[in-house]
């Protein structure tokens, strides 16, 4: 919903997706109250920021299913 209320994924009803604003761009965000890190895709970061992106290291992250690992760019 675009009325300020959280929406729930029909694919996975345990996911809570909210609309948030970053640099005046409205973007969807998943709420994870147990998360220790915040991730953003490289393409979204490029589209919302005019600052240069500097890669300092390439960490990995484990997704919420506990077994899927991804490289974080």
| pLDDT tens-place string over residues 47-57 | 888 777 776 77
Q: Give first-to-last CA distance, the chain, whole Å.
A: 30
| pLDDT tens-place string over residues 3-23 | 555 555 566 667 888 898 888
Average pLDDT over residues 20-38: 87
- Residue 22: how many other CB atoms lie within 10 Å: 14
pTM above 0.85, yes or no: no
Q: What is the structure's pLDDT at 1?
A: 47
The fraction of the chain above a pLDDT of 70, given in percent, is: 79
Q: Please give the backbone phi and psi of residue 60, each rounded to the nearest 5 degrees, phi first.
A: -115, 160
Which DSSP symbol is given to 53?
P
At 15, is the secondary structure helix, strand, or coil? Answer: coil
């Amino acid at each position: 919903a675009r009325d300020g209320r959280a929406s729930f994924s029909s694919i996975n009803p345990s996911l809570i997706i909210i609309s948030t604003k970053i640099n005046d761009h409205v973007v969807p965000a998943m709420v994870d109250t147990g998360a220790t890190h915040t991730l953003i895709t490289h393409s979204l970061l490029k589209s919302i920021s005019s600052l240069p992106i500097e890669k300092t290291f390439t960490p990995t992250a484990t997704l919420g299913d506990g077994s899927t690992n991804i490289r974080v760019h």
